[in-house]
């Protein structure tokens, strides 16, 4: 009898320990301005950001309810609606969730429930506030200086102020990751920082290695790890990966055949306004230092079927250096090889093709070239 009682007590203990683990939860939402019968789609975001369908339901009397799959670890999910642009993002952490959703402003919608969603919502609010502050700063400059775009000194001031905002924002992000190593939000933040190039590869690696194993092994964690491995191949001190691509004349040019004493690989596109704004500075730099050994290889991310726009931009902006492009937009093989997520992007190489600096612009770029050639 005593043995049976011990077995029962052990079973009860296991039951209590497992209670609440991996149990399916429910998302209950109230929506505004959505007709009855509107289809609602639930999906999980995979590591590459592609949605993986999970379930569907419909709006009834301004509400909907949908079951969330039980998960072993937090997952990033989205809710979308038929014929409505945008989505609502949340974290599934095996907790019941409630949502208030606005059809006309999905970005203002909010899903609450669980500590991970609270952390996620706070992070999103932080991004919004930082964006508002930066936009207000730029607007103030524009109102006070209508001809700002013709004034390089003012543009430099704006960039310096933007850099200051970015550094403050990055410190807040790093603090979140440091304090929440077990949270999916931390790997999302690290992914954001890598995409915006606001963190060095070695620093990102250190942060990644300090995150919990579950976070590292999540779909998003695996994607970030892959990005870090690719970034290591193009980090400062590495030999720049060689590549070949078509020139405007239809010939094939390899990086190794375009090297000078100093070489700038300049990723840009005719449709990229910041690139076009920076071009006059690069032209001036090239004209001053080309005879001393500066070469530039422009790599365009222009789109398929728009070669004419690429050629016109080269002519209009006076870009007299060598150019290549696969005309594959962000999917171009060189952009993938160099893990390009935003442009303009620059890699500065020495005479041996070793990367000595990255993503310098304006006076910083000129100072680096002068240091190497003067």
The residue ranges of every structural domain in the chain are 21-111, 116-233, 244-373
Q: Is the predicted pLDDT of residue 20 greater than 80, yes or no?
A: no
Q: Is the predicted pLDDT of residue 193 greater than 80, yes or no?
A: yes
pLDDT band of residue 21 (cuts 50, 70, 90) is: very low
Q: Is the predicted pLDDT of residue 18 greater than 50, yes or no?
A: no
- Tell me, what's the pLDDT at 47? 72
Fold of 244-373: Glutaredoxin (3.40.30)
Written as six digits, the tokens of 348 are 């500065």
Mean pLDDT, residues 162-175 = 89
Pairing of strands 262-268, 345-349: antiparallel
CA distance 191 to 49: 11
Q: Is the predicted pLDDT of residue 49 greater than 90, yes or no?
A: no
CA distance 325 to 310: 9
Residue 73 burial class via C-beta count within 10 angstroms: exposed 0-12, middle 13-18, buried 19 and up: middle
All residues at 6 or more sequence positions from 280 whose CB lies less than 8 Å from its CB, including other chains:
317
The CATH number of domain 21-111, selected from 3.40.50.150, 1.10.150.120, 3.40.50.300, 2.60.40.2190 = 2.60.40.2190
DSSP state of 270: T
For the chain, what percent of residues have pLDDT higher than 70? Answer: 93
- List of E strands, 228-309: 244-246, 252-254, 262-268, 294-300
Secondary structure (3-state) at 325 = coil
- Tell me, what's the pLDDT at 155? 76
CA distance 41 to 328: 31
Which residues sit opposite 100 in a β-bridge? 30, 110
Mean pLDDT, residues 327-354 = 94
Q: Is the predicted pLDDT of residue 7 greater than 50, yes or no?
A: no
Mean pLDDT, residues 148-161 = 75
pLDDT band of residue 244 (cuts 50, 70, 90) is: very high
- Tell me, what's the pLDDT at 58? 96
CA atoms within 13 A on the CB side of 55: 11
pLDDT band of residue 95 (cuts 50, 70, 90) is: very high
* Number of Cβ atoms within 10 Å of the Cβ of 260: 19
Written as six digits, the tokens of 147 are 């001809």
The pLDDT mean for the chain works out to 89
For the chain, what percent of residues have pLDDT higher than 90? Answer: 71
All residues at 6 or more sequence positions from 285 whose CB lies less than 8 Å from its CB, including other chains:
294, 365, 366, 369
- Among 2-11, 102-111, 155-164, the least confident range: 2-11
Residue 227 burial class via C-beta count within 10 angstroms: exposed 0-12, middle 13-18, buried 19 and up: buried
- Tell me, what's the pLDDT at 215? 97
- Among 50-59, 71-80, 160-169, the least confident range: 160-169
- Tell me, what's the pLDDT at 4? 36
CA distances (Å), origin 364, targets 156, 273, 361: 11, 20, 6
Written as six digits, the tokens of 312 are 């016109």
pLDDT higher at 133 or 87 = 87
Q: Is the predicted pLDDT of residue 356 greater than 60, yes or no?
A: yes
Which helix H or strand E contains 346, and what residues bound it? Answer: strand 345-349
- Tell me, what's the pLDDT at 15? 35
Mean pLDDT, residues 228-252 = 92
Residue 74 burial class via C-beta count within 10 angstroms: exposed 0-12, middle 13-18, buried 19 and up: buried
- Tell me, what's the pLDDT at 23? 62
pLDDT band of residue 50 (cuts 50, 70, 90) is: confident
Q: Is the predicted pLDDT of residue 70 greater than 80, yes or no?
A: yes
CA distance 101 to 38: 13
Whether the model clears a pTM of 0.85, i.e. scores above it, the answer is no
CA distance 22 to 71: 6
CA distance 255 to 324: 10
Written as six digits, the tokens of 255 are 């990086």
CA distance 155 to 142: 10
Q: What angle, 0 to 180 degrees and rounded to 10, lies between the N-to-C axes of helices 152-179 and 362-373?
A: 100
Question: Cis omega before residue 97 (within 30°)?
Answer: no
Q: Any idea which residue has 């992007």 for tokens?
A: 345
Are 40 and 64 within 8 A, CB to CB?
A: yes
Written as six digits, the tokens of 346 are 């620059």
Written as six digits, the tokens of 300 are 């365009």
């Amino acid at each position: 009898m005593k043995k049976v009682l011990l077995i029962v007590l052990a079973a009860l203990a296991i039951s209590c320990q497992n209670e609440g683990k991996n149990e399916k939860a429910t998302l209950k939402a109230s929506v505004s301005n959505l007709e009855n019968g509107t289809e609602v789609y639930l999906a999980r975001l995979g590591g590459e950001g592609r949605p993986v369908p999970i379930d569907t339901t419909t709006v009834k009397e301004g509400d909907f309810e949908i079951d969330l799959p039980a998960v072993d670890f937090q997952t990033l999910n989205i809710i979308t609606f038929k014929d409505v642009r945008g989505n609502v993002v949340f974290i599934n952490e095996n907790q019941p969730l409630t949502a208030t959703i606005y059809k006309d402003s999905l970005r203002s919608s909010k899903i609450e429930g669980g500590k991970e969603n609270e952390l996620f919502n706070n992070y999103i609010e932080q991004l919004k506030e930082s964006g508002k502050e930066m936009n207000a700063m730029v607007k103030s400059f524009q109102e006070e200086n209508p001809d700002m775009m013709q004034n390089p000194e003012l543009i430099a001031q704006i960039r310096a102020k933007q850099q200051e905002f970015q550094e403050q924002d990055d410190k807040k992000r790093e603090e979140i990751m440091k304090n929440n190593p077990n949270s999916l939000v931390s790997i999302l933040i690290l992914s954001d920082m890598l995409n915006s190039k606001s963190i060095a590869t070695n620093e990102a690696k250190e942060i990644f290695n300090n995150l919990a194993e579950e976070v590292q092994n999540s779909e998003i964690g695996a994607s970030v790890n892959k990005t870090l491995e690719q970034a290591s191949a193009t980090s400062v001190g590495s030999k720049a990966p060689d590549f070949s691509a078509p020139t405007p004349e239809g010939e094939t040019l390899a990086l190794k055949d375009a090297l000078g004493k100093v070489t700038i690989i300049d990723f840009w596109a005719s449709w990229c306004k910041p690139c076009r704004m920076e071009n006059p500075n690069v032209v001036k730099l090239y004209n001053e230092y080309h005879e001393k050994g500066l070469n530039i290889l422009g790599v365009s991310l222009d789109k398929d079927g728009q070669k004419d726009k690429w050629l016109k931009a080269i002519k209009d902006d006076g870009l007299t250096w060598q150019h290549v492009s696969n005309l594959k937009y962000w999917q171009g093989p060189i952009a993938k090889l160099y893990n390009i997520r935003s442009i303009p992007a620059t890699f500065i190489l020495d005479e041996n093709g070793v990367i000595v600096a990255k993503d310098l612009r304006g006076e910083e770029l000129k100072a680096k070239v002068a240091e190497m050639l003067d």
